[in-house]
Amino acid sequence: MQKMLSMLRGCIDDYGMIEAGDKIAVGVSGGKDSLTLLVTLAELRRFYPKPFELVALSLHPGYEDMSFDEVAALCERIGVPYIVKQTEIARIIFDIRKEPNPCALCAKMRRGALNDLAKSVGCNKVALGHHYDDAVETFVLSLFYEGRIGCFLPVTYLSRADLTVIRPLLYMTERDIRNFAARQSLPVVYNPCPADKHTKREEVKELLRTLESTHSDLRKHIFGAMQRYPLGGWGKISHTAQDGKDSSPESSTSAEQ
């Protein structure tokens, strides 16, 4: 836990993510990333010098065999209020619209619903569980599939929603999070989405794994370049996020929220 808290706080401090009096909605998809974010933020809340509140929010996409009961029990144990909103996102995407490439629309609908729910409970910030590897993969996705140099931002102010989106896990690798989730026995929710693991992001993951067999520091170099360049909004203690232009991983694939 100490190592994870150190990385979490380092990222939060480097990008000025939390101010005293913030009420932060943690977007909890039920995956290992969002659960790690929830647990570590709840622990940080105990001693961080700038007092803040947390509320955990989940959007139920409408799959019958998907349950957040164990997440609710976790939230009760760590003292974080928890709200699950039932939606028809799955039915709209797969049954009504029959989307051949559903991830972008799903991400847009989830973001809108999450932001609306966060505002309805008085939050001024939304924390999402995107991590170090998500950032590197999104950079490569943007370059290869969109022909541009870009990535989601550590901090993004959304003027239309009057919310600030923060990503405090950016210094943690997927391996860090996977190991933490196993050690803490976090109640990961099974994702029954038929598009899961069949995305462009999976192709990029495999490409990076192949390249890393001969270039072991590849991800480190890409992430470092994003900060040193710096890519817009990636300079430390930067609040120059593109207003409302949040090209998060979900815009190209199904990332955990």
pLDDT in tens, 98-114: 777 777 778 888 899 99
Segments making up each domain of the chain, as ranges: 2-251
Confidence band of 69 (pLDDT split at 50, 70, 90): very high
In 31-81, which ranges are E strands? 53-60
Question: Which pLDDT value is given to residue 198?
Answer: 61
Residue 82 CB contacts under 8 Å (≥ 6 apart), including other chains: 28, 55, 56, 57, 58, 71, 72, 75, 76
Residue-level pLDDT at 197: 63
pLDDT 10s digits, 191-228: 777 766 667 888 888 899 999 889 989 999 999 888 88
User: What is the DSSP-derived secondary structure letter of residue 82?
Assistant: E
Neighbours of 157 (CB within 10 A): 18
Which region among 15-24, 84-93, 117-126, 150-159 has the lowest average model confidence (pLDDT)? 84-93
* Assigned CATH class of 2-251: alpha beta
d(CA 167, CA 164): 10
Is residue 97 pLDDT above 90, yes or no?
A: no
Please provide the average confidence, as pLDDT, over all residues in the chain.
87
Higher pLDDT, 20 or 144: 20
Give helix 200-212 / helix 218-228 axis angle, nearest 10°. Answer: 110
How confident is the model at residue 247, as a pLDDT?
A: 39
Q: Which residue has the higher pLDDT, 79 or 201?
A: 79
Task: State mean pLDDT over 156-165.
Answer: 94
Please, which pLDDT band fits residue 254 given cuts at 50, 70 and 90? very low
pLDDT above 90 for 84: yes
